[in-house]
Structure 1
Amino acid sequence: MRLFTALALPDEIAPPLLLMQAGVPGARWQKREQLHLTLRFIGEVDGAQATAIDDALATIAVPSFTLELKGVGSFGGKIPRDLWAGAAPSEPLVHLNRKIESALQRIGLEPEARKFTPHVTLARLKNSPRGAVMDYLTDHALYASTPFTVTAFCLYSSKLTSDGSIYRVEKEYGLTS
């Protein structure tokens, strides 16, 4: 089982992101059910590890908070591989990420090697012209969502298919009010 933690996006946040999905050759745009804000990629685990992960995540107690998506970017440098919408700076979001990271390390998972860059993946890119990617980033640089309240985070499973990943919420963990 391939797992990760993320924030599900409220229904009012997704439509503007879906409307931004155009204009880049070679982009495989994410569907509504694929949109989420990744908190921590976990990777392949067995059943016993999945149970331990669930138990560890269930102990996390952080207050709900308000979040806003802001700006766009790409991963991959000179050979862009993803387009994404970012999150506005948010100490409560970083705090939640740290709590998840700490809980997972306590049960023996390796620390996340990548710096936490909160984002919603909009597209996977394959042979997309760098100029088209740069134009996309310029055209959508001022993107900002309406603020929304984060009341939970989720443990997702991911199944890779030829049509892209299929994500399923395995468990939702409420934040305190």
Structure 2
Amino acid sequence: MRLFTAVTLGSTIESRATSEMERLRALAPHSRWVKAEGVHLTLVFLGEVEEARLPSLREALEPVGSRHAPFVLSVGGGGSFGSPSRPRVLWADVRGETDALKALQADAAAVLQPLGFESEHREYTAHLTLARAKDPHGDPALARCAQALHTSDFGEGRVDRLILFESRGGHYHSRLEVPLTRSK
């Protein structure tokens, strides 16, 4: 099964992100747009993992929750990755208590590393992926979308859990939810 750890951003951000993606889809119809259920921030991508390893993942991840308090993030604005004229990825900017998010990501990466999972991030930069170009050389239409995102505001949401997701058939299924329980 294909696994990753992530946090979700709440119904307000999910709803506004979905509306914004619907609006922008008309500008870049040939890109792959994230589904509403896909609105999350990936912390550590694990890749293909045997189901027999789930108990060890649970054992590693469950203690993380008691070391982190819930926090609030907001999403708005954005940009693109890749060539400015032919971006490969369109993203929205994550703001707010990003230091708390980075600490959670670093902790998750640290407990998974002894199990053989290396974080793909040297330094974690929070962003909400909205679309990816189908063409490996990018999509000029995503550059127009990035411009249109500059004044967007998706609102704010409370992050109160770390989730181990399974990606199956283009859908995400929660395999483990670890509440963030430390008091601020």
Q: Report the Cα distance in structure 2 between the residues aligned to 1:19 and 1:49, rounded to whole angstroms.
A: 38
TM-score, L = length of structure 1: 0.86
Gaps of 5+ in 2: none
The CA deviation at 1:80 is 2.7
Report the 3-state secondary structure (helix = DSSP H, G, I; strand = E; otherwise coil) of the residue aligned with 1:170.
strand
Q: Does 1:86 pair with 2:93? A: yes
Q: Report the Cα distance in structure 2 between the residues aligned to 1:119 and 1:51, rounded to whole angstroms.
A: 30
The CA deviation at 1:20 is 1.6
Q: Report the Cα distance in structure 1 between the residues aligned to 2:103 and 2:122, rounded to whole angstroms.
A: 16
Q: Report the Cα distance in structure 1 between the residues aligned to 2:7 and 2:174, rounded to whole angstroms.
A: 10
TM-score, L = length of structure 2: 0.83
Query: What amino acid is aligned across from residue 150 of structure 2 in structure 1?
Result: A
- Counterpart pick for 1:64 among 63, 70, 78: 70
Query: What amino acid is aligned across from residue 150 of structure 1 in structure 2?
Result: V
- Counterpart pick for 2:167 among 147, 158, 175: 158
Q: Report the Cα distance in structure 1 between the residues aligned to 2:60 and 2:89, rounded to whole angstroms.
A: 30
Aligned counterpart, 1:172: 177
Structure 1 residues 95-154: Cα deviation after superposition (integer angstroms, max 9, x where no partner)? 101110111113332343554222222122213642x22221111113233222111121
Report the 3-state secondary structure (helix = DSSP H, G, I; strand = E; otherwise coil) of the residue aligned with 1:49.
helix
Aligned length: 172
Gaps of 5+ in 1: none
Q: Does 1:49 pair with 2:53? A: yes
Report the 3-state secondary structure (helix = DSSP H, G, I; strand = E; otherwise coil) of the residue aligned with 1:13.
helix
Q: 167-176 vs 107-116, which deviates more?
A: 107-116
Q: Report the Cα distance in structure 1 between the residues aligned to 2:116 and 2:139, rounded to whole angstroms.
A: 41
Q: Report the Cα distance in structure 2 between the residues aligned to 1:114 and 1:81, rounded to whole angstroms.
A: 20
Q: Report the Cα distance in structure 1 between the residues aligned to 2:139 and 2:119, rounded to whole angstroms.
A: 34
Query: What amino acid is aligned across from residue 133 of structure 2 in structure 1?
Result: L
